[in-house]
Chain A
């Protein structure tokens, strides 16, 4: 079974530039998550989709971050404009089940973003 795919694996940009990350979840997984993991911290949920609808985006900095999952499959996360504090690993995860009992989340390899 193919895992969660993410690209690019690494990205270096200068502050105020824009960047986009792509994620393709495991086939059949209705729920997709984007996490931000800053060095030395645990992953922090940015946004959760169920199919193509947003379930939770309460921790997404909406002034600069946006995400979409138009056809309910793959998703893109964009940062515009980037700040130094956005340097982190961006993890995408997907799960088959929703609600309770909660389903296991499968994580992709992540994208390491460095903002100079």
Chain B
């Protein structure tokens, strides 16, 4: 059965800390690995990683895909309180289908 597992489930840090969120996937016909940030309700897109683009960076956020280990990490440097959210990882497969992990709840304290 396809599954996506994220760790840790929750994380509390202080502003300025660097965090690493983990995602492992077992997805049939894997196409891509996506990261979303969920504040309140609607997830917002962060990164998409495929075999042709295994490392992405945007500001303080970066992500790497390890296709050999079937895993991905999301790094956030110099965290801010506005980074507090649930970070969702999803394995993309077949015709635009995605299987989401349960998410990592990140809390950044002042």
Contacts and interface: CB of A to CB of B under 8 A. Distances in A.
Given A100-B31, A101-B32, A106 B45 contact: yes
Contacts of A44: 100
B95 A43 contact: no
Interface residues of A, number: 29
A108 B43 CA distance: 8
Interface string A11-47: 0000000000000000000010000000011111100
Contacts of A91: 41-43
Contacts of B43: 43, 91, 107
Contacts, number: 66
A75 interface: no
A50 to B, nearest CB: 8
Interface residues of B, number: 26
Interface in A84-99: 89, 91, 95, 97-99
Contacts of A107: 36, 42-44
Interface in B66-110: 88, 90, 92, 94-103
A104 B42 contact: no
B7 interface: no
A43 B43 CA distance: 9
B4 interface: yes
Contacts of A42: 4, 88, 90, 100-103
A100 B30 CA distance: 11
B50 interface: yes
Contacts of A40: 102
Interface of A: 4, 31, 40-45, 48, 55-56, 89, 91, 95, 97-110, 112
